[in-house]
Amino acid sequence: MSRLSNITISMAQETVEELYKDIERNIQTSQPGLCPVDLAAAFIHLSHARSCGKCTPCRVGLGKLEDLIEAVLDGKATIEDIDEIEKMSDTIFRSADCAIGSEAARMAVKAVKGFRDDFEEHVKYGRCKFQNFKSVPCVSECPAHVDIPGYIALINEGRYDDAVKLIRKDNPFPATCGMICEHPCEEHCRRKLVDDAINIRGLKRYAVEHESEIKAPVCAEATGKKVAIIGGGPSGLTAAYFLSVMGHECTVYEQRDKLGGMLRYGIPSYRLPREILDKEIEGLKLSGFKTITNISVGKDITLEQLRKDYDAVYISIGAHTDNKIGIDGEDAEGVISAVEMLRGIGDGNMPDFSGQDIVVVGGGNVAMDVARSAIRLGAKTVKIAYRRRKVDMTALAEEVEGAVADGCMILELNAPTRIEKTDDGKVAALWVQPQIVGEVKWGRPAPVNADSPEVRLACDKVLVAIGQGIESSHFADNGIPVNRRKIAAKDTADFDGIDGVFSGGDCVTGPATVIKAIAGGKVAAANIDEYLGFDHEITSGVELPPVRFADREPMGRVNMTERPASERTKDFDLMEFPMTDQEACQESARCLQCDHFGCGKLKGGRELKW
């Protein structure tokens, strides 16, 4: 007899492990809009299959819970049964011996509390209340609802001009978005069921890079209506572009020297090269809108005046003020806000950090941008102090990884407490209090002070990147509703009781993504057009090729590659390599064409106009 043996994984177990991976991806692609009760039932069933069966509440109770929820789904339960589900879940949670039973029951408790009205709808009317099946996940997840399967099909056919034309129907910033969009479209890409999401952003960039030339859009007959747009960022320029295409006379008021807003004054050029941004904006201007730069609404001209001079006004001022940490010593020379630093860089004023030790405070994408810029500006060391864990950072994982590769050091679980000054008032060090990760609050574990002393991080500069605010006081003073500095426009970009004023972009949503700002401009353009008494339609006129019918066998996703860190950190040139022809051809063929296959064919496959 052998006392011990090595574990060999059986074929069955190996297959199960594979199936676990499949279900992991399956759940990742699960888009919003599905029946929550049906999903809850499936999750409890899955948990029940994991039960070892030793304990009563888990072995028997979960089954009874499933029966009850199935009865709800079949419309055969009573309202009292919903209470019974809640009570039973609570009992299982309390009396189960291990987490398999108690966590399954906790899901049931959450479900009943979270969408009790849907349980009731099933009981009373035998149907789901919240279901709103999204046929084409990428299109519905894109705030601007760009026809993604459409342009990917065109890329696959080599029709790049048409692909970009189709994108411009909903999003006039294809080049910019090809570089820096956060691609929410990829989040629930159905291709993940097979292997991995389509590299949609990369394909968009590829299409733009192969567009022959930007042609002036065909504009509708002049309407004689005038629209003022306050702020020349992505949201304002989107509105100006579409409104010009609709035949309205638009004027963009921009307080800075150049157009682009946060694209220029917030995003470093190694992610979005200035020549690409400039070319994109010049292309937009072909639609015919006027621009006035270096003019600040509130100082040089009032909102009231604009309302008098124009038929409609769109406020898209963005979120350009910095937030303060609120610690001692923040007034020291050498404490620079991220907004200030990136704005300077945007205007071409490159600070010199040669040989300096830099500490960045913050954990968002902007913190990564300033940290990586600091490296490129010659800093000797760059540390990123963050009070939570690295995994809790709000920055995209790839940005965090990129910053580390560039040479930034991440000091997770370190909360800034004060800034030490030199005698002449300059930054000497940032003091941080080490933290320990604690209880989960609002979905994220909150840090608490660790039982260890403060740590001194000697440095020359502290770069503060803890969010931006909105300079909305002039608008508030002029009767525009403002809520915590955000302009309180409705989802339709207008305001109750205020005629002819619309607002969107970061100044309404708070600092968000470029595609959200673009979507805000698109919504505003449509509703301003309607307000002005028109119903212009925006179409692309692009016909799609016949749907490809092919087996879509598992095939790896083409990821974007970057210049090596040792090279890219020496300049502000574009960091990311483009897709090759071979890669774009393969990647575009991976698209499952959800606009045709599945529910897309039945409803909402393609929106040809808006």
Give the shortest CB-125-to-another protein separation in angstroms: 5
Residues ≥6 apart with Cβ < 8 Å to 126: 74, 75
Using the 8-state DSSP alphabet, how is residue 467 labeled? -
Name the β-bridge partners of 361.
385, 464
Cβ proximity to another protein: between 109 and 133 the closer is 133
Give the shortest CB-35-to-another protein separation in angstroms: 4
Give the shortest CB-38-to-another protein separation in angstroms: 5
Give the shortest CB-39-to-another protein separation in angstroms: 8
Name the β-bridge partners of 251.
228, 290
Give the shortest CB-589-to-another protein separation in angstroms: 14
Give the shortest CB-551-to-another protein separation in angstroms: 5
Using the 8-state DSSP alphabet, how is residue 59 labeled? I
Cβ proximity to another protein: between 136 and 284 the closer is 136
Using the 8-state DSSP alphabet, how is residue 57 labeled? I
Give the shortest CB-83-to-another protein separation in angstroms: 23
Q: For tokens 């959800």, name the residue.
A: 594
Give the shortest CB-242-to-another protein separation in angstroms: 19
Cβ proximity to another protein: between 4 and 602 the closer is 602
Instruction: Determine contact, residues 575/401, Cβ cutoff 8 Å.
Output: no
Cβ proximity to another protein: between 451 and 553 the closer is 553
Instruction: Determine contact, residues 432/417, Cβ cutoff 8 Å.
Output: yes
Cβ proximity to another protein: between 506 and 595 the closer is 595
Measure the CA–CA gap between 493 and 242, rounded to whole angstroms: 15
Write b or e for each residue in 469-480: b if 16 or more Cβ atoms lie within 10 A of its Cβ, otherwise e.
bbbbebbeeeeb
Give the shortest CB-253-to-another protein separation in angstroms: 31
Residues ≥6 apart with Cβ < 8 Å to 306: 228, 230, 253, 297, 313
Query: In degrees rounded to 5, what are phi and psi of residue 350?
Result: -85, 115
Q: What does the H/E/C string look like for 398-466?
A: HHHHHHHHHCCEEECCEEEEEEEECCCCEEEEEEEEEEEEEEEECCEEEEEECCCCCEEEECCEEEECC
Q: Among 352, 366, 375, which Cα is nearest to 394's?
A: 366
Q: Among 146, 137, 138, which Cα is nearest to 174's?
A: 146
Q: Among 296, 292, 339, 258, which Cα is nearest to 474's?
A: 296
Give the shortest CB-365-to-another protein separation in angstroms: 35
Cβ proximity to another protein: between 223 and 365 the closer is 223
Give the shortest CB-549-to-another protein separation in angstroms: 5
Cβ proximity to another protein: between 116 and 129 the closer is 129
Cβ proximity to another protein: between 34 and 109 the closer is 34
Cβ proximity to another protein: between 35 and 538 the closer is 35
> What DSSP element (H or E) covers 494?
strand 494-495
Q: Among 518, 494, 523, 492, which Cα is nearest to 506's?
A: 518
Cβ proximity to another protein: between 40 and 237 the closer is 40
Give the shortest CB-126-to-another protein separation in angstroms: 6
Cβ proximity to another protein: between 128 and 292 the closer is 128
Measure the CA–CA gap between 42 and 76, rounded to whole angstroms: 18
Give the shortest CB-122-to-another protein separation in angstroms: 9
Q: Residue 324 corresponds to which amino acid?
A: K
Name the β-bridge partners of 357.
381
Cβ proximity to another protein: between 38 and 357 the closer is 38
Name the β-bridge partners of 416.
432
Cβ proximity to another protein: between 565 and 599 the closer is 599
Q: Which residue ranges make up the site for another protein (CB under 8 A)?
A: 34-35, 38, 73-75, 125-128, 131, 133, 535, 546-547, 549-551, 596, 599, 601-603
Instruction: Determine contact, residues 562/575, Cβ cutoff 8 Å.
Output: yes
Cβ proximity to another protein: between 121 and 369 the closer is 121
Measure the CA–CA gap between 104 and 518, rounded to whole angstroms: 41
| Beta strand spans in 218-275 (E) | 226-230, 249-253
- Token pair, residue 3, equals 């006392």
Give the shortest CB-121-to-another protein separation in angstroms: 10
Name the β-bridge partners of 253.
230, 292
CB atoms within 10 A of CB 573: 12
Cβ proximity to another protein: between 246 and 359 the closer is 246
Torsion of CA 292, 295, 296, 299, to 10 degrees: -140
Measure the CA–CA gap between 413 and 434, rounded to whole angstroms: 6
CB atoms within 10 A of CB 79: 11
Instruction: Determine contact, residues 233/522, Cβ cutoff 8 Å.
Output: no
Name the β-bridge partners of 444.
441
Q: Residue 232 corresponds to which amino acid?
A: G
